[in-house]
């Protein structure tokens, strides 16, 4: 620990709290939007399509008296292929390692079979870990429906605290964070006060490119895409070079991503370059290529090549 770290530690109040909050829920309920809202900056890609988040991502919320480590997990769902198994295993592992479980639910809908499946997963994995329900999308629901759906969702995991929020507008989010703060144990500050994530620049680049693909394509393409950063170089203080391969599972998908005369790939590259320039504060030279890797989502060896390694659970 250096002298600066010592100053920070000495300055912490005796009631300083800290801990890990696993953010779980079915796909497309607004987990990433909520974390971005709490941190007041974007650390996770957001789209209206399910299963946008594939890997566990850490968001670090720091105030003088608390540090909350939000773990944004892939949506819990019944997997249909090896990639799905990977995503579910990541989310389930987060449940077991957390000090708190924050279950984000869609208040604009009645409880789904997928929510009951998640309730079973939480009950199985939580042990003594407290659970807080965040009933999201309140801005889309009438007052009467809020009451009815809050009761229906609370019944899925009895005796837990529930908060009505809107990650889109910010309604109820401050109160939710205050509640999480009070439920965390006393503890130190694990990260510097100005750090909001621990992802590296290659990961940020790959996720930014994937976000643009998700926004501009539909059907199976968003779920069949993986982005691998081949090369990342800071060529000067004002220019970064990024070479990336976009992998898809079929030749037809490759044609759609490239587009007529390369128009779609140019659009994806242009938007990703603009976002990355803002994040990295340099000009970006972005070199994109599209390749077919047949059925990679169902092949563990190919998944490992692309960074999706299924953890092995011990019996």
Tell me 71's DSSP state: E
One pLDDT digit (tens) per residue for the chain, 315 residues: 444 444 344 578 999 999 999 998 887 788 888 998 999 876 654 444 444 444 567 889 999 999 999 988 765 555 555 555 666 666 666 677 789 999 999 999 999 888 998 898 888 877 788 999 999 999 999 999 999 999 999 999 888 889 999 999 999 999 999 999 999 999 999 988 888 877 677 888 888 898 899 889 887 787 788 899 899 888 888 899 999 999 999 999 999 999 999 999 999 999 999 988 987 788 999 999 999 999 888 887 877 777 776 555 544
**φ, ψ dihedrals at 282, nearest 5°:** -140, 165
Class for domain 3-183, per CATH? alpha beta
Beta bridge partners of 161: 132
Q: What residues have CB less than 8 Å from 21, skipping those under 6 apart? A: 68, 69, 70, 71, 98, 99, 100, 101, 102, 180, 184
Residue 137, Ramachandran bin (φ over 0: left; ψ between -120 and 50: alpha; else beta): left
What is the pTM for the complete model shown? 0.64
Identify the helix (H) or strand (E) that includes residue 34: helix 31-39
What's the CATH number for 201-305? 3.30.300.20
Give the closest residue to 104 by CA, choosing from 185, 19, 32: 32
Residue 78, Ramachandran bin (φ over 0: left; ψ between -120 and 50: alpha; else beta): beta
User: Are 3-183 and 201-305 equal in CATH topology?
Assistant: no
């Amino acid at each position: 620990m250096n002298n600066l770290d010592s100053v920070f530690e000495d300055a912490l109040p005796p009631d300083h709290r800290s801990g890990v909050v696993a953010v779980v829920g079915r796909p497309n309920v607004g987990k990433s939007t909520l974390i971005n809202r709490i941190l007041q900056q974007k650390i996770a890609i957001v789209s209206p399509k399910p299963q946008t988040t594939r890997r566990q991502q850490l968001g670090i919320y720091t105030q003088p008296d608390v540090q909350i480590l939000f773990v944004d997990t892939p949506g819990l769902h019944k997997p249909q292929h090896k990639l799905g198994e990977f995503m579910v295993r990541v989310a389930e592992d987060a449940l077991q390692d957390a000090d708190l479980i924050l279950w984000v639910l869609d208040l604009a809908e009645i409880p789904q079979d997928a929510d009951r499946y998640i309730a079973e997963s939480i009950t199985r994995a939580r042990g003594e870990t407290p659970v807080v329900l965040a009933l999201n999308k309140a801005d889309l629901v009438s007052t009467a429906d809020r009451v009815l759906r809050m009761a229906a969702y609370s019944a899925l995991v009895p005796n837990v605290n529930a908060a009505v929020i809107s990650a889109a507008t910010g309604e109820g989010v401050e109160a939710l964070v205050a509640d999480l703060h009070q439920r965390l144990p006393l503890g130190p500050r694990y990260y510097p006060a100005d750090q909001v994530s621990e992802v590296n620049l290659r990961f940020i680049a790959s996720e930014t490119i994937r976000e643009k693909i998700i926004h501009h394509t539909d059907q199976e393409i968003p779920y069949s895409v993986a982005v691998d950063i081949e090369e990342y170089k800071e060529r000067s203080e004002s220019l970064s070079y990024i070479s990336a391969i976009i992998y898809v599972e079929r030749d037809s998908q490759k044609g759609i991503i490239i587009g007529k005369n390369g128009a779609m790939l140019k659009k994806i590259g242009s938007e990703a370059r603009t976002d990355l320039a803002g994040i990295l504060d340099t000009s970006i030279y972005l070199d994109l290529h599209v390749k077919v890797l047949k059925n990679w989502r169902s092949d563990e060896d190919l998944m490992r090549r692309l960074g999706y390694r299924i953890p092995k659970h011990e019996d």
